[in-house]
Structure 1
Amino acid sequence: AQDHPVCTLPGFLRSAHRAGALDIAFKRMGDMVLEDMDLIDRGLPPMRSKRAERETVSRMRSKPVDKN
């Protein structure tokens, strides 16, 4: 919920978890990416994919994008 106390914590970051070891989970993740790509191709904003912000990425261990 938007009014949950955890949302007011400094540095709180909410992120969807899209992982799973089942074939169906991997298929669904791929479907979500393809659905967003279709929206982008039609000039619409994606529903699930979000732009990686350098401020957020710099706090991640895996560093999914280069930091200049």
Structure 2
Amino acid sequence: MDFPQAGLSWRKASYSSAEGQNCVEVATLPDGGRAVRDSKNPGGLVLTFTVAEWNAFVMGVKDGEFG
């Protein structure tokens, strides 16, 4: 299933590597959720997250849950 990416404004993650090897991009969805894709393959798979899922992820990162 293709994800409709038209109209989304993608931003590269500020912690992506300078060499461009490990880059992700994120876009805000119309409902406030987020979409995430690999910047090296913008036409590839897109992960989508609800507002609650994204907020839980951000809180986990801030709390060091993934370190």
Q: Which has the larger radius of gyration?
A: 1
Higher strand share: 2
Higher helix share: 1
On whether the aligned pair clears a TM of 0.5, the verdict is no
Instruction: Give the TM-score, by structure 2 length.
Output: 0.25
Q: Which has the higher contact order (CA 8 A, sep 6+)?
A: 2
Instruction: Give the TM-score, by structure 1 length.
Output: 0.25
